[in-house]
A and B are shown apart, each in its own frame.
Chain A
Amino acid sequence: MTDPGNLTLAHNWFKQKGWKSFAFQEEAWEAYLRGYHGLVNAPTGSGKTYSLVIPILLEYLRERQSEVTSPRKRDLGLRAIWITPIKALAKEIGNSTQRAVDGLDIDWHVKLRTGDTSSAEREKMKKNPPEFMITTPESLQLMLAQKGYEKFFKNLRTVVCDEWHELMGSKRGVQMELALSRLKTICPKLKVWGISATIGNMDEALQALLGSSLKKKKYKVIKSDIRKFIEVESVLPDTVEKLPWAGHLGTNLIDKVIPIIQKSKSTLIFTNTRSFAEIWYQKLLDRSPDLAGIMAMHHGSISRELRDWVEDALHNEQLRAVVCTSSLDLGVDFRPVETIIQIGSPKGVARFMQRAGRSGHQPGALSKIYFVPTHSLELIEAAALRDAIANGIVEDRVPYLRSFDVLIQYLVTLAVSDGFKPDEIFSEVKGTFCYSSITQDEWSWLLNFISTGGAALTAYDEYRKVEIEEGFYKVTNRRIAMRHRLSIGTIVSDSSLQVKYVSGKYIGTIEEWFIARLNPGDVFWFAGRNLELVRIKDMVVQVRNTKKKAKAVPSWQGGRMPLSSQMSVVLRKKLHEITLKNFDHDIELRFLKPLMDLQKERSHLPTKNEFLIEYFKSTEGYHVLMYPFEGRAVHEGMAALLAHRISKITPITFSIAMNDYGFELLSDQEIPLYEALETDVLSADNLWQDIQASINSVEMARRRFRDIAAISGLVFKGYPGHQVKDRHLQSSSQLFFDVFNDYESHNLLLLQAYEEVMEFQLEEARMRNALLRINKQKFIVTEPDKPTPFAFPIMVDRLREKLSSEKLEDRVKRMQLQFD
Chain B
Amino acid sequence: MLTSNYLIHLAGNVSEEVTLYNNTFLLCSEKAVLWKSEGVLLISDLHLGKVNHFRRSGIAVPHNPNDQNIERLITLLQEVQPDRVLFMGDLFHSHYNTEWEVFGQVLKCFPAISFELVMGNHDIMSDYQYQKHQLVMHKKPLEMGAFIMSHEPLEGVPEGCYNFAGHIHPGVHLRGKGRQGIKLPCFYFGKNQALLPAFGEFTGLYKIKPKVGDQVFVIVDGKVIKV
Contact = CB atoms under 8 A, between A and B. Distances in A.
Interface of A: 449-450, 453-455, 460-466, 475, 477, 479-480, 483, 640, 643, 653-656, 696, 699, 713-714, 726, 728-729, 731-732, 734-736, 738-740, 742-744
Interface in B52-106: 52-65, 93-94, 97-98
A713 B62 contact: no
B59 A713 contact: yes
B60 A453 contact: yes
Nearest to B102: A460
B178 A462 contact: no
Nearest to B52: A462
Given A477-B58, A699-B181, A742-B64, 20 more contacts: A453-B58, A453-B61, A455-B63, A463-B58, A463-B60, A465-B58, A480-B58, A640-B178, A643-B178, A656-B178, A699-B180, A713-B58, A728-B93, A731-B204, A734-B204, A739-B62, A740-B62, A743-B64, A744-B62, A744-B64
A356 B98 CA distance: 63
12 contacts: A460-B98, A462-B98, A465-B60, A466-B58, A483-B58, A655-B178, A726-B57, A728-B53, A732-B204, A735-B204, A742-B64, A743-B64
Contact of A464 (B56, B65, B181): B56
Q: Is the interface of B mostly helix, strand, loop or mixed?
A: loop
A696 B175 CA distance: 13
Of the candidates B52, B58, B97, B178, the one having the most CB atoms from chain A within 10 angstroms of its own CB is B58
A729 B94 CA distance: 9
B9 interface: no
A449 B180 CA distance: 33
B209 interface: no
A729 B60 contact: no
A743 B62 contact: yes
Interface string B187-207: 000000000000001111000
A736 B61 CA distance: 7
A729 to B, nearest CB: 6
B173 interface: no
Of the candidates B54, B94, B178, the one having the most CB atoms from chain A within 10 angstroms of its own CB is B178
A468 to B, nearest CB: 14
Contacts of A739: 61-62, 64-65, 201-202
Contact of A654 (B53, B57, B93, B178): B178
Given A699-B180, A728-B93, A739-B201, A464 B64 contact: no
Contacts of A655: 178-179
Contacts of B97: 462
A656 B54 CA distance: 41
Given A643-B178, A728-B93, A743-B65, A461 B55 contact: yes
B178 A449 contact: no
Nearest to B201: A739
B172 to A, nearest CB: 15
Of the candidates A453, A465, A475, the one having the most CB atoms from chain B within 10 angstroms of its own CB is A453
Given A656-B179, A739-B64, A464 B58 contact: yes
A696 B98 contact: no
A739 B59 CA distance: 13
B62 A454 contact: yes
B223 interface: no
Nearest to B54: A729
A91 B59 CA distance: 38
Contacts of B177: 653
Nearest to A730: B204
Contact of B62 (A455, A462, A654): A455
B122 interface: yes
B61 A464 contact: no
A617 B98 CA distance: 65
Contacts of A726: 57
A454 B204 contact: no
A258 to B, nearest CB: 40
B64 A731 contact: no
A463 B63 CA distance: 10
Nearest to A716: B59
Contacts of A454: 60, 62
Question: 3 closest Cβ contacts across the A-B interface?
Answer: A465-B58, A453-B60, A743-B64
A734 B201 CA distance: 13
A453 B57 contact: no
Contacts of B179: 655-656
A480 B64 CA distance: 23
Given A461-B55, A462-B56, A463-B56, A728 B61 contact: no
A462 B55 contact: yes
Nearest to B58: A465
Contacts of B54: 729, 731
Nearest to B98: A460
Contacts of A463: 55-56, 58, 60
Nearest to B205: A734
A720 to B, nearest CB: 21
A612 B59 CA distance: 52
B89 to A, nearest CB: 14
Nearest to A450: B60
Contacts of B65: 739, 743
A807 B65 CA distance: 48
A734 B57 CA distance: 19
Contacts of A465: 58-60
Given A464-B55, A656-B178, A449 B60 contact: yes
A656 B63 CA distance: 41
Contacts of B56: 462-464
A728 B122 contact: yes
B55 A735 contact: no
Contacts of B201: 739
Given A460-B98, A743-B64, A714 B122 contact: no
B57 A464 contact: yes
B53 to A, nearest CB: 6
A464 B58 CA distance: 5
B180 to A, nearest CB: 5
